[in-house]
Structure 1
Amino acid sequence: MNIKGSVVFVTGANRGLGLAFVHGLLAAGARKVYAGARDPATISIPGVQTIKLDITNPDEVLAAATIAADTNILINNAGILAPGAFLGENGAAASRRQLETNFFGTLAMAQAFAPVLHENGGGAMVNVLSVLSWLNLPPIGSYCASKAAAWALTNGLRNELRGNRTLVVAVHAAYIDTDMAKHVEGPKTSPEEVVRQTLEAIELGREEVLSDDITKKVKLELNAELPIYVREWSK
């Protein structure tokens, strides 16, 4: 499908990758962009319709789907990261909090907007995931688990929505140069490049985006005799 002339809803649109999606969509000729954020006042971009949205709030999710009933592309970008190992003091609480946003919040948006997309011809749903969908790093174990769950959700949604002619795109990235990764050492991909690849995938009908070399390497090595998710933490 074409980005030009489309109507797009972006969650977590007030900063980082979400904000880059808003700018990228406008530059690509989207007819309308809805920008969802917990505090809409933090978004001040001409031509964008802001919507108050906490994806863990069922009433706000349903209200957003009602307001944005002309949407034909949904970008599920909103997510949180809370450091903490599974066996740490706050392991269970951190896991619940991140699953509530990264999995259940994404599920709520999918449930609310799938009928909207279907009514408008099918369109596309994009779920922003992570290379950590396939790895688990001890300092952020619960975050990795939430992204693994979101990956499984994405695969399930893809199967359920194929009959509605809805393209479901999984976006996997390692470190993106945003506030979430500001303390991380190592190569980072610009949010604009992730957006560029994602919009290209939508237009070409691709179901997966591997946005950088690290992500491509990890995905490739999942089939190794000793997979990377075991090898890296068994030394």
Structure 2
Amino acid sequence: MVAINDSVAVVTGGQRGIGKAFVEALLQRGAAKVYATARKPGPSEDPRVEAVALDVTDPAAVSALADHARDVNIVVNNAGVLFPSPLLQADMAEVVATFETNVFGALRVAQSFAPVLAANGGGALVDMHSLFSWGAGAGAYGASKAALWSITNSLRVELAPQGTQVVGVHLGFADTDMVAGFPTQKISPAEVAELALDGVEEGSDEVLVDTLTRQMKAALSGPVTGLTVPIGR
């Protein structure tokens, strides 16, 4: 478990949606500093927030951020993209771009910040997943989240010797621009961030944010035909 008060965090994709909610929740819990990244960041009025330009698909940029933010002890891997096309109709460039951001980008961040976290006592790595990590119906996005779930589970084992807590956060639909076109019940980004940070402070390995996510994980023990996500209720 990692205390949020007086912590220093980096949040990728930290200027909109769930990432912005993470930044606000960290500050509310007493974080000393938050590096909030975006491809085109805007300034923050809070002196505890340092806005940083970052494209997680750029290895040099990720390494440069880790070299700059040597005081970090909490990393929130939140940056992500979603292209809605079904796999059989998807442009392969969109599939590759999805994996570059959602999978390889998150892994780049973890690799670059692992030594930083070790030097600062272990800290925590938070990876943002989805109920589509287990459920069918979200094309390349779901496939990328399934891959990231596997990576997160391996990182938990690999980072354990240095005392780094690895938290996988799974949720259904949050009320963000990314899923604005999905006609379904949505949770607020603020609630997602609060529950995830509760998990960090409680020493959790995994946070299942909502009922639909818990139902989907429970369905993993059943037939694969039960792993289609219901949308529109």
Deviation at 1:44, TM superposition (A): 2.3
Deviation at 1:89, TM superposition (A): 5.1
Alpha-carbon separation, structure 2, partners of 1:129 and 1:226:
20
**Matches of residues 172-191 of structure 1 in structure 2 within 5 Å?**
172-191=170-189
Change (3 A) 1:226 1:76: closer
> What RMSD in Å do the two structures reach over aligned CA positions?
1.4
Partner of residue 70, structure 2: 69
SS in 1 for 2:50: strand
Partner of residue 118, structure 1: 118
SS in 2 for 1:171: strand
Partner of residue 59, structure 1: 60
Change (3 A) 1:32 1:84: same
TM (norm. structure 1) is: 0.93
**Structure 1 gaps, min length 5:** none
1:112-159 C-alpha deviation (Å, 9 max, x unpaired) = 00000001000000000100000120xx31111111111111011011
Equivalent pairs: percent with the same residue?
46
**Matches of residues 146-161 of structure 1 in structure 2 within 5 Å?**
146-161=144-159
Q: Indicate the structure whose relative CO is greater, using CA pairs within 8 Å and at least 6 residues apart.
A: 2
**Structure 2 gaps, min length 5:** none
Alpha-carbon separation, structure 2, partners of 1:231 and 1:194:
19
What amino acid does structure 1 have at the position aligned with 2:127?
N
Kindly indicate whether the alpha-carbon contact (under 8 Å) linking 1:221 and 1:227 is maintained by their aligned counterparts in 2. no
TM superposition outliers: structure 1 runs of 4+ over 4 Å:
none
Deviation at 1:231, TM superposition (A): 9.7
What amino acid does structure 1 have at the position aligned with 2:220?
L
Partner of residue 7, structure 1: 8
SS in 1 for 2:82: coil
SS in 2 for 1:84: coil
Change (3 A) 1:58 1:118: same
1:138-193 C-alpha deviation (Å, 9 max, x unpaired) = xx311111111111110110110011110000000000011111111121111111
Figure out how many residues of one structure are paired with residues of the other and give that number.
Answer: 228
Q: Is 1:100 equivalent to 2:124 in the alignment?
A: no
SS in 1 for 2:36: strand
